[in-house]
Amino acid sequence: MDKLDWKIVAALERDGRQSYADLGEQVGLSKSPCWSRVKNLEESGVIDGYAARLDPIAIGLAVQSFVEVQIRFDAHIEFEAAVLAHPAVVECHTTAGESDYLLKIFARSADHLDELLRHNLSKLPGVQRLKTVVCLKTIKRHGDLAEWARTTEGRDRAN
């Protein structure tokens, strides 16, 4: 990616709904070259989609939690399939350490969270243990990945 590509993805990360003309004006390109670059970024997988950001509290999901999950060694495939199909799980990550996975979930209330944990998530395939951390307040939800990636480009990623 060159400097223009970084400018484009940073601008789209801030506002993915802007027109190609507005985007081009921000990065110093006319509409057609800007459109071509965006298409190339989409085709290469740098841009993997566009979506509205929803405020969980505004839609009634006031309790955000992170759930560490330990599963049986032979249940990874079934567990991952179940997580992909589960609407309460908005993110799932494999982890190193005591837990196998880290889930991000939202619930309407503490009672709703309790119900999800006891009667739902604990029954996913292979689950042996859940450890839940309830988020009291979100300080930062959406960071600027483009700017961070640009400033670290070329550094040894192993360090």
Average pLDDT of the segment spanning 30-57 = 93
Domains and CATH numbers, the chain: 3-51 (1.10.10.10), 56-135 (3.30.70.920)
Distances in Å between the Cα of 34 and the Cα atoms of 7, 44, 140, 147 are: 11, 15, 30, 19
| pLDDT surpasses 80 at 87 | yes
- Among 132, 120, 123, 114, which Cα is nearest to 75's? 123
Report the length, in residues, of the chain: 159
Q: Tell me which of 47-56, 74-83, 146-155 is least confident.
A: 146-155
For the stretch 24-41, pLDDT in tens is 999 999 999 999 999 999
Residue 5 has pLDDT above 80, yes or no: yes
Q: Which single residue is written with the structure tokens 């243990």? A: 129
The predicted model scores a pTM of 0.84
Give residue 156's pLDDT band: very low, low, confident or very high (50, 70, 90): low
Residue 139 in this model has a pLDDT that exceeds 80? yes
Single out the residue of 41, 24, 49 nearest to residue 149, CA to CA.
Answer: 41
Model confidence at 134, pLDDT cuts 50, 70, 90, reads: very high
Q: Phi first, then psi: give them for residue 93, nearest 5 degrees.
A: -130, 140
Residue 49's region, left for phi above 0, alpha for psi from -120 to 50, else beta, is left
- What confidence tier does 151 reach under pLDDT thresholds 50, 70, 90? confident
Q: SS3 breakdown of the chain: % helix, strand, coil, rounded to 5?
A: 40, 20, 40
Mean pLDDT of the chain: 93
**Secondary element (H or E) of residue 50:** none
Instruction: Kindly indicate the confidence band of residue 159, based on its pLDDT and cuts at 50, 70 and 90.
Output: low
Q: Are 38 and 8 in contact (CB under 8 A)?
A: yes
Q: Return the H-helix or E-strand segment holding 90.
A: strand 89-94
φ, ψ for residue 116 (rounded to 5)? -60, -45
Q: Which two tokens stand for residue 102?
A: 């880290």
As a whole-number percent, the residues of the chain with pLDDT over 90 amount to: 82
Rounded Cα distance, 67 and 127, in Å: 12
